[in-house]
Amino acid sequence: MNISTAVSISGSGFPWLLAVILWPLLGGVIVAFFKNDARLAKLTAIVFSLVEFALTLVVLFSYHASGARIQLAGSADWIASFGVHFSFGVDGIALIMLVMLGGLTPIVLGASWQEKLPEGRSMAGFFSLILVMEALVMAVFAATDVFLFYVLFEIMLIPMYFLIGGYGGPGLRRQYAAVKFFLYSFLGGLLMLASAIGCWAYVESVTGTGTFDWATLTRVVSHAPLGTQIWLFMGFFFAFAIKAPLVPFHTWLPDAVQESPVGVGVFLVGVLDKVGIYGFLRYCLPMFPDASKTLAPLVLVLSVIGVLYGSLLAAGQSDMKRFVAYVSIAHFGFMGVGVFAFTSQSEVGAVTYMLNHSISTGMLLLVVGMIAVRGRSFKAEDYGGMAKVTPLLAGCFFLAGLTTLSLPGTNSFISEFLVLLGSYETQPVYAILATIGMVLAALYVLWLVQRIMTGPLRGKAFGADEPLVGVTGGPGAATDPLGRAKSMISDLNGREKLVLAPMVILILLLGFYPKPLLDVVNPSVGATLTSVGVSVDANQGGN
């Protein structure tokens, strides 16, 4: 126990980790000053985010998959009398999240380059808030002190609140969505605080010294009696179930995503929600192993309901942003199943799902945004026949759809397959029910593709709600509506290609060669499972 020492740093990489957390914060502050020069603000922000990505890569390469559980760790006292520390460190799971966030931010910034902001808002403020957001989420993932985690978990809401409420859709709806988001998350956070204090009190009653140090808590609280564990578990569970979100705590997400700018939406579903699943893995499982096992059926039921319910609702949405939100809810259901099935395959599947979902859903949302820029609407029924006019955009949309429905050969397949395959071993019923989600996924994705991309040209983008007849370009079509449509809207421009290219590459790369990713994640998942008391099956197969 290192409570006596005020500052302790283990491992030489800690300064890098600290830099990863502080650098975007610095960037956010600097960018905020360029209120009058949007171009300068944007360039500064993107440079900061790219350097940040490089920093996360440094952290990635200084991490040793086979090394200690928590690496690049460092700690300093904050409120010594309560055993609260500023302490950070990463394991394989957190590491993946950091790199994912580092890579996603420049993409989000690039995608938001020409965002139409509401009256009176500046690009500087927007980009600055995104960078601050990035710093805070980095810190959330890297925190190794439960109290610090709680504080960051709540502070994280503030920039997000302003991003939705200040920069989102028109009118009062965005205020409503922002407040709803804030209240939901805040409520969950308070329950978590109560549980965290409960943990502190339990540690004090056992060891005589109260602390919020994560390592100590997992060591001590995990041996608490089942009743105590269940109460403490519930506080954390609600916070994470709201964040993740599991049905029925989900209704804030569609509203928030619908009202956010597209880039913020990507942050919301791609990063912020991951804190929920991450929290299950990092806090619920190791700290309350007995409670986790006892209550696993509850979480599994909610997750499976999430899979089916989210899919069916996604199929019933006409707003494309809400569609993406419900798709995410279905995917979070898969992750929930993976985490609480307690096999190494399902758990690795859930962790990689966190990354892959960011890529797939992130790309889907970005492409939806690009479609909406052209068609000036997020309603699916305002579109038709886009594939003929904008083949490249349609291709990207289709690819994003394919990875969303977890087609083998795309990144999401690996994780979904692992989740289902792993959970079948311990929870066959839930696994089979979740597998039905595969059919529903095909249903909602292809439904959207069909409505937007195929059929005759129609929609606001072409100034006509009626179909432009004779698009096939047969001998009879003298007026050439296709050419006219092409002159009205353009295919992907250079910036958009640059934004989507890394995602396309990652989708295919991680679909066919996910081994490096799996190798980073696997040891940390093994450690998590060991703390729940599940022995990780040895490498038996494959001679």
Distance from C-alpha of 72 to C-alpha of 57, rounded to nearest angstrom: 13
- Rank residues 41 and 341 by Cβ distance to other proteins and give the closer one: 341
- Rank residues 381 and 519 by Cβ distance to other proteins and give the closer one: 519
Q: Tell the smallest beta-carbon distance from residue 443 to other proteins (Å).
A: 6
- Rank residues 129 and 440 by Cβ distance to other proteins and give the closer one: 440
Nearest to 358 by CA among 108, 181, 168: 108
- Rank residues 141 and 252 by Cβ distance to other proteins and give the closer one: 252
43: left (phi over 0), alpha (psi -120 to 50) or beta: alpha
- Give the phi and the psi of residue 110 in degrees, each rounded to 5: -60, -40
Residues 250-289 that bind other proteins (CB under 8 A): 250-252
Q: Tell the smallest beta-carbon distance from residue 176 to other proteins (Å).
A: 9
Residues 431-490 that bind other proteins (CB under 8 A): 431-432, 435-436, 438-439, 442-443, 446-447, 450, 453-457, 471-476
Q: Tell the smallest beta-carbon distance from residue 349 to other proteins (Å).
A: 8
Question: Would you give the binding string for other proteins spanning residues 361-400, x where CB under 8 A is met?
Answer: ------------------------x-xx---x--x-----
Q: Is 191 in the site for other proteins (CB under 8 A)?
A: no
Question: Would you give the binding string for other proteins spanning residues 116-155, x where CB under 8 A is met?
Answer: ----------------------------------------
Q: Tell the smallest beta-carbon distance from residue 456 to other proteins (Å).
A: 6
- Rank residues 174 and 388 by Cβ distance to other proteins and give the closer one: 388
Q: Is 542 in the site for other proteins (CB under 8 A)?
A: yes
Residues 311-340 that bind other proteins (CB under 8 A): 312-313, 315-317
- Rank residues 185 and 229 by Cβ distance to other proteins and give the closer one: 185
The DSSP annotation for 405-416 comes to TT-BTBHHHHHH
Distance from C-alpha of 394 to C-alpha of 402, rounded to nearest angstrom: 12
What residue has token string 């302490």?
A: 87
Q: Tell the smallest beta-carbon distance from residue 278 to other proteins (Å).
A: 19
Q: Tell the smallest beta-carbon distance from residue 409 to other proteins (Å).
A: 6
Strand partners, 76: 7, 86
Q: Is 533 in the site for other proteins (CB under 8 A)?
A: no
- For the chain, the maximum distance between any two Cα atoms, rounded to a whole number of angstroms, is 88
Distance from C-alpha of 407 to C-alpha of 417, rounded to nearest angstrom: 10
Alpha-carbon Rg of the chain, whole angstroms?
23
Q: Is 348 in the site for other proteins (CB under 8 A)?
A: yes
Report whether 392 contacts 308 (CB < 8 A).
Answer: no
- Rank residues 167 and 413 by Cβ distance to other proteins and give the closer one: 413
Entry field: residues in the chain: 543
- Rank residues 189 and 526 by Cβ distance to other proteins and give the closer one: 526
- Give the phi and the psi of residue 169 in degrees, each rounded to 5: -65, 180
Report whether 481 contacts 457 (CB < 8 A).
Answer: yes
In Å, how far from its chain's centre is CA 164? 16
Residues 415-434 that bind other proteins (CB under 8 A): 417-418, 420-422, 424-425, 428, 431-432
Strand, helix or coil for residue 92:
helix
Q: Is 522 in the site for other proteins (CB under 8 A)?
A: yes
Taking residue 84's Cβ as centre, other Cβ atoms within 10 Å add up to 21
Q: Is 309 in the site for other proteins (CB under 8 A)?
A: yes
- Rank residues 160 and 402 by Cβ distance to other proteins and give the closer one: 402
Note every long-range contact of 485-488, with CB atoms under 8 Å and residues 24 or more positions apart, other chains counting. Answer: 485/388, 485/389, 485/457, 485/461, 486/389, 488/461, 488/462, 488/463
Q: Is 344 in the site for other proteins (CB under 8 A)?
A: yes
Q: Is 175 in the site for other proteins (CB under 8 A)?
A: no
Taking residue 186's Cβ as centre, other Cβ atoms within 10 Å add up to 16
Q: Is 242 in the site for other proteins (CB under 8 A)?
A: no
- Rank residues 284 and 313 by Cβ distance to other proteins and give the closer one: 313
Taking residue 162's Cβ as centre, other Cβ atoms within 10 Å add up to 18
Report whether 366 contacts 109 (CB < 8 A).
Answer: no
**# binding residues, other proteins (CB under 8 A):** 71
- Rank residues 118 and 391 by Cβ distance to other proteins and give the closer one: 391
Q: Tell the smallest beta-carbon distance from residue 457 to other proteins (Å).
A: 8
Question: Please, how many CA atoms are within 13 Å of residue 473, restricted to the half-sphere of its CB?
Answer: 6
Taking residue 311's Cβ as centre, other Cβ atoms within 10 Å add up to 27
Report whether 381 contacts 465 (CB < 8 A).
Answer: no
Q: Tell the smallest beta-carbon distance from residue 225 to other proteins (Å).
A: 32
Candidate list 408, 463, 483, 533; residue touching other proteins; CB under 8 A: 408
- Rank residues 196 and 414 by Cβ distance to other proteins and give the closer one: 414
Distance from C-alpha of 496 to C-alpha of 492, rounded to nearest angstrom: 6
Q: Tell the smallest beta-carbon distance from residue 248 to other proteins (Å).
A: 5
Q: Is 220 in the site for other proteins (CB under 8 A)?
A: no
